[in-house]
A and B are shown apart, each in its own frame.
Chain A
């Protein structure tokens, strides 16, 4: 059995010599930019826990508002329907 990695057979050599498969330039640049932004943001927020918490809250707020509004509306709709038809 040939040992992959340190073998001297032709298949082992072919495996070692497979060409690099890189991302296309646009994807590579898009990923780099997004990752560097996240890196800088993470590092900036690291020293300021209050700011990190504020940002997390700001991110969580819109979905919470939507869920709250839908919940209140549903409660109102059910109680109104109950008041109108519940007695009969």
Chain B
């Protein structure tokens, strides 16, 4: 990913301690970081917390950023590390056990899924949510967020070759899940049509 001129200025502002630069960085990158965290965790409450942790980390480390820092990559690296840390600790979280079976993935598209396009979108979100964590993060960075593969490998802390392997596996896994979901949707539609005819 090429360091954009605007991001370069933002990094300079952050290093100087300019709150305006921080606000601009937040406005520019918040949604992408949040979307990444939401699709990684599958839970809005978790994504909310991790979003805050990520930006607090930037607030405290801003003055130490290197001049050539790619801000978006830096934020995604921190966001991903926050998610990994959350996942490690969540093993010990009793509230998760209590809510087990009652929680649903927040990636559910909601009532708008009545239209075919929205239903397809929902199926895609569901398929991504069902991928293994390794596959999901690789796919989200490259295919959804548009990171160059070299940059994505840096964010994930793995080699370029390892990333390509992960992407291949992720894509195969995704295709399989989409096929399964499509088949299920077709069966449901057929059953609905069957009930509709006298």
With A38-B60, A42-B59 in contact, is A23–B48 under 8 Å at CB? Answer: yes
Q: Looking at the assembled complex, report how far the CB atom of B85 sits from the nearest CB atom of chain A, in whole angstroms.
A: 18
- B62 near A1 with CB under 8 A, answer no
Interface residues of B in 134-162 (CB under 8 A from A): 139, 142-144, 146-147, 149
**Interface range, B side:** 35 or more
**Interface residues of A toward B: which range?**
20 to 34
A18 to B146, CA, bound (A): 11
User: With contacts A18-B124, A22-B30 known, is A42 near B171, CB below 8 A?
Assistant: no
Is B56 interfacial (CB-CB < 8 Å)? yes
List chain B positions with a Cβ less than 8 A from chain A: 17, 19, 22-23, 26, 30-32, 34-35, 38-39, 47-48, 51-52, 55-56, 58-60, 62-63, 107, 120-121, 124-125, 139, 142-144, 146-147, 149, 167-168, 170-172, 174-175, 178
Chain A positions within 8 Å of B, measured between CB atoms, are: 1-5, 11-12, 14-16, 18-23, 27-28, 30-32, 34-36, 38-40, 42-44, 46
